[in-house]
Every structure is written in C-alpha cells, then in structure tokens.
Structure 1
Amino acid sequence: MQPQPPAPTCYRHPDRPTGLACTRCGRSACPECLTPAAVGQHCVECVQQGRNDVRPVRNAAGTAVSRIPNPYVTYSLIAINVIVYAATALQAHSVMDNQRSRLFYDWVLVPAFVGDGGWVRVLGSGFLHYGPIHLLANMFALYVLGPYCEVALGRGRFVAVYLASLLGGSAAVTALSDPLTASAGASGAIFGIFGAVAVIMLRTRQNLTQIAVLLVINLIITFSVPGISIWAHMGGLLAGTVATTGILYVPRWLGIRETRTALNIGWAAVAVVALLAVLATVLAVPSL
C-alpha cells in the first residue's frame, strides 16, 4: 500500500494542513489567510497587490477622491482666528474694543510700519479682526466656502492658496493704500477663496450663478461701505484666482497628462503667486 503524500500546508502557517488555495496565485492557505473574492478566494499578498494595482480616482485638481479629507484645515483656520481674537480681547480687557491690545498694535497692517521693519504685519494682520461682528462675518464666509475648496484642492494646496491670497491682499494694501491706513482681517484671504471656488466650478463645468451672485454682493459691500479695505479684497481675489488657475488650468494648457508632474506645476504656480506678492511688498517699502 502506497503511503499517502503529506497534506499541503498554509504558506504562512506551515503547521496548519489545508486543502484550500488562493485562486489567484495557487498557493495553499488556511481559511484565516484567505479572503473571499468575486471569483474564488485570495491570499493576503494577492489582496494587497490588488489594492496597489487599483489606480485612485482623481478629481480635476488631481486630488485622490478616495483620500478626500474632512475639512480639518478650514476648521483649524477658523480656530486660529478665534484664538487670536480671544488673545486681543483678553489683552484689551474688552470683547468689543479689542483693538486696544498690544498684539493688535503689533500685527495690524500699517504700510508705513512695514517700511520700518514690521514684516510680521504682512501675515499677522490676516488673523486680526475689528470686533466680534467682523470676526463672525469672515468666519461664516470661511465656513461656507472653505470646505468646498479644501475638498477640491486637497489640504496642502488649499492652505497654499489661502496664504497666497492673504499675501496678495497685504501686498495690495502696502503698495496702493495710504501709508498710515490701518487694515486687518481675513477677508483678503477669503476673497481669494471666492476666486478659487469660482475657478474650480468653472473647471468642473458647474453652474456659476450662486458663487457669482455672492461675489457681486460682496464686491458691492466692499465698494459701498466706508472703512472696508478695498485693496485687501481686490489683491486677495486676484491672488486666489490666479493661484487656482495655475493649479487647474496651466497643466492642461501645457498638455501635461502625468499626475505627479501636473501636481508639481500647480504647486509651482501657487509659489510664484506668493513670491510675486512678497516681491510687490518689498518693492513698495522704499517709497513708504
């Protein structure tokens, strides 16, 4: 009588005899190491290989749809603005009259003070607000627009466009406003997000009516209400629109199809916008 050949064992657990095998690679495997598939069952390595072979679906901005994040960056920006406001209110001992704080004095954007070396004002002023109504209005706009833009562009590029817009607004104020005019607020960056959302909707062929109406209303308010920094809004709007156009359209105009190269070109476009804003500020300083 011929001896029976030894039963095959699991390739991952040699001490476990098994009559099962992966239908993809043919290796013997125990039930613990097999996953049901559309046809048969696959071992651990084949399941992982299948996941690696699946190309992620990407949106128009190149963001992997399967990795689209919750809008944590938007919420973080809102939190930073609120924390800065709380700090100024504590220093001023007043929720309504927070401009009397030392932090507000050190960060508010006054072009003449930038000329004296106060460069922190170029960025810091974008996180200051004149009273709670100013703060609430800007944070509500950021809450409405930010998540859409963050999901479309991805976290990193959303932050980059936001900061480029903020720098663009500060550059316009420094170069074109009265040197002794004081301005503060996140509205320059938020107008940049307005422009970014419009470009995203245009690129994805969505109806632009809503964003156009909102933008027109905000522009009417900008030009009709005294005390609003027109140049901050216009500079931010221009910077955000151009930066997002660089992300969504420049790779297409150049005929770039490879995702990584297109993403790098988009990053370069945002960097150029930010650098031009900084350069405009630097060039404006000697005349202040």
Structure 2
Amino acid sequence: MSTPPVGVPTCYRHSDRETWIRCQRCERPICPDCMREASVGFQCPDCVAEGRASMRQAKTAYGGQISTNPGVVSIALIGINVVVWIAIMASGRYGSRLYDLFALAARGSCRESNGSWYPFMDRASCETGTTAHWAMGVSDGAVWQLLTSMFTHVAPWHLGFNMLALWVLGPQLEALLGRARYLALYLLSGLAGSVAVYWLSGEQTTTVGASGAVFGLMGALVVVGLKVGGNVQSLLVWIGINVVLTFSLSNVSWQGHFGGLVGGAAIAAVLVFAPKDRRTAVQVGGLCAIGAVLVVATVLRTLVLA
C-alpha cells in the first residue's frame, strides 16, 4: 500500500487514497468510492445520512404519515375478521366457546353447546344442575367483549357486507388521516358502538359484528366531506339506506349502528378540525377524552347491572 506525498489531501475515510474532491456540505476530502451525487456537486456518506435523517417526512392533510402502501391497515383489519370467522365456524358456530368468549353480552348466561340458552338461570344453578356452561358477560368481568365483538361474525352475509364496506370506505380515510389516526378512528368507533349496545340492548342478548366501526367510517366521511366543502349527498343517501335496512331486517343491532355512527362523526371532528399549529396535541387530547367518556359509560352501566 503506497502512502500519498506529504501535503496531498486524502479521503477522510480512506487515508491511503489521494483526492482533490471535497464534500459540498462539510468540505472534507472524499475519494470516488465515497462520493455521493447531490443536487450540486458531491457529498460524503455521513452528510448524506444526516440529510436523510433531518428531512421532514410528508404528512397527510390532518397530520398523519403518508403511507406508501395505502389500505394496508384496512387489509389487516379484514384479515383479522376473516380469521376469527373461520375459527368460530370451525369450532361450532353459535355453540362455539370462542363465540361465547368474543360475543358482547351485558350479563352472563347459561348456554348449551348447541347455542341455546336459559334466560332465567343463575350461574350457580347452571354449573351444578345442567350439562350447560356459563358464558360471561361484560358486567361479570368480560370487558374484552367490547372490543372482540367488533371482530366477530357468524353469518357469511354479515361478514361479507361489513368487509365490503370496510374495503370501500377504509382506504379513503386511511389515505386522508394516516395509519395511526385511521386505526384510532376505527377502534374507537367500534368501541362507541359496543358501549351503546351495552347500554341499550337486552341484558343477555349477544351482539357481534364490525357494523359499529363501519358506521363510524361512514360518519367520519361525512364530517371530512363537510370540512372540505365536498358533496356528501350520495354518502348521506347511502347512510339513509343502511338506516332503513337496520330497522327493516331482523336481528340487526340498531344500537351498535347508532353508537358507531355518532362516535365516528365525533372522532372525525376532533381529527379534522384540530388547529394546525397544535394539531397533534389537540387530536391526542380529544381522542383520549372520547375514550375516557366511553370508559366512564361502561363503568356506570356495570354499576347499574351489579
């Protein structure tokens, strides 16, 4: 290995290489292997790395990170719903222990393995005098059902309708809000629907489905449309049709639809109307406040049922 003559500049990373090229940013000498093309001249690898780290990432209109793979959260949510549906179908449908674990019920009930249940039997009698088992409800401590019921379906048409709506509506909001805000909207909307079911449905009625979260996306799109001055007439017509179907078809939870719709609109209002200069702080605070209201409503309902 030869040594360059004294006084001749050498690459700051390769001291045995003579060079007369300098980094345009820090002016350190760089050899051809260390030269990185810049908008003007060349830069060294360290300056290029620093520039990438300090570069501001592009944001959505409402403060979220712009996704290079739009719709990925919606696809993941659809995947979770499908996997849970397959597991429940494979383990007994309405008689599945997974259904008992995931479906939302205000109170526990005594259930047979075929899905039938005894509405007036208490837990002690169920566990001692019958072949049935006790399925817990939210007031018994199964608070996870407020969340798991959002990912639970039995009827194929129910799953298909909700997943189609999620695929149509979800990627639009995901692109507008960013992944994290969109996921918060979906989960909080579904939770709002579950809390409405907890308060307004029959105490031992079981409720499942992503409809609350889907209606939340509908409400959110209306708020976004109003914010940007868009034409929301077609969306309002679609919501109207779904409301009519909600009250026309049997075994449809209007409580979950209503809670999700109102919750989604409120959550979207927090996200899109937050002032730009302190947007993230207002959004986080607003979403936490909505979450706190839902928690308090759940606690109050549990005390009423105790």
Residue in 2 that maps onto 1:115 = 139
> How far apart are 1:281 and its partner, in Å?
2.1
> How far apart are 1:230 and its partner, in Å?
0.6
Does 1:216 find its partner at 2:246? Answer: no
Paired residue secondary structure (2:43): strand
Q: CA 1:12–1:99 in 2, change beyond 3 Å: closer, same or farther?
A: same
Match runs of 1:188-267 below 5 Å: 188-249=212-273, 251-252=274-275, 257=277, 261-267=278-284
* TM-score, length-scaled by structure 2: 0.80
Q: Distance in 2 between matches of 1:206 and 1:35?
A: 46
> How far apart are 1:39 and its partner, in Å?
2.3
Q: Distance in 1 between matches of 2:145 and 2:54?
A: 49
Does 1:58 find its partner at 2:56? Answer: no
Residues 40-93 of structure 1: CA distance to partner in whole angstroms, max 9, x if unpaired?
Answer: 22222332343344433322211233x55443322221111111111111111x
1:280 is aligned with what amino acid? Answer: A
1:272 is aligned with what amino acid? Answer: A
> How far apart are 1:232 and its partner, in Å?
0.3
Paired residue secondary structure (1:8): coil
Residue in 2 that maps onto 1:279 = 296
> How far apart are 1:14 and its partner, in Å?
1.2
Residue in 2 that maps onto 1:132 = 156
Q: Distance in 2 between matches of 1:46 and 1:204?
A: 40
Paired residue secondary structure (2:19): coil
> How far apart are 1:185 and its partner, in Å?
0.5
Name the one with the larger helix percent: 1
Does 1:141 find its partner at 2:179? Answer: no
- Asked if the contact 1:157/1:267 (under 8 Å) is kept, the reply is no
Q: CA 1:179–1:51 in 2, change beyond 3 Å: closer, same or farther?
A: same
> How far apart are 1:108 and its partner, in Å?
2.0
1:78 is aligned with what amino acid? Answer: I
Q: Distance in 2 between matches of 1:35 and 1:203?
A: 44
Does 1:100 find its partner at 2:124? Answer: no
Paired residue secondary structure (2:107): helix
More off after superposition, 145-154 vs 165-174: 145-154
Residue in 2 that maps onto 1:73 = 73
* TM-score, length-scaled by structure 1: 0.85
Q: Distance in 1 between matches of 2:51 and 2:142?
A: 55
1:107 is aligned with what amino acid? Answer: F
Does 1:43 find its partner at 2:60? Answer: no
- Asked if the contact 2:64/2:179 (under 8 Å) is kept, the reply is no
Residues 149-193 of structure 1: CA distance to partner in whole angstroms, max 9, x if unpaired?
Answer: 223222222222212111111111111223233321110111112
> How far apart are 1:202 and its partner, in Å?
3.4
- Residues matched between the structures, number: 272
Q: Distance in 1 between matches of 2:62 and 2:249?
A: 36
Match runs of 1:148-163 below 5 Å: 148-163=172-187
Q: CA 1:57–1:117 in 2, change beyond 3 Å: closer, same or farther?
A: closer
Residue in 1 that maps onto 2:285 = 268
Residue in 1 that maps onto 2:133 = none
State the identity %: 38
Unmatched 5+ stretches in structure 2: 109-137
Q: CA 1:137–1:71 in 2, change beyond 3 Å: closer, same or farther?
A: same
- Asked if the contact 1:68/1:151 (under 8 Å) is kept, the reply is no
Paired residue secondary structure (1:112): coil
Does 1:10 find its partner at 2:11? Answer: yes
Residue in 2 that maps onto 1:95 = none
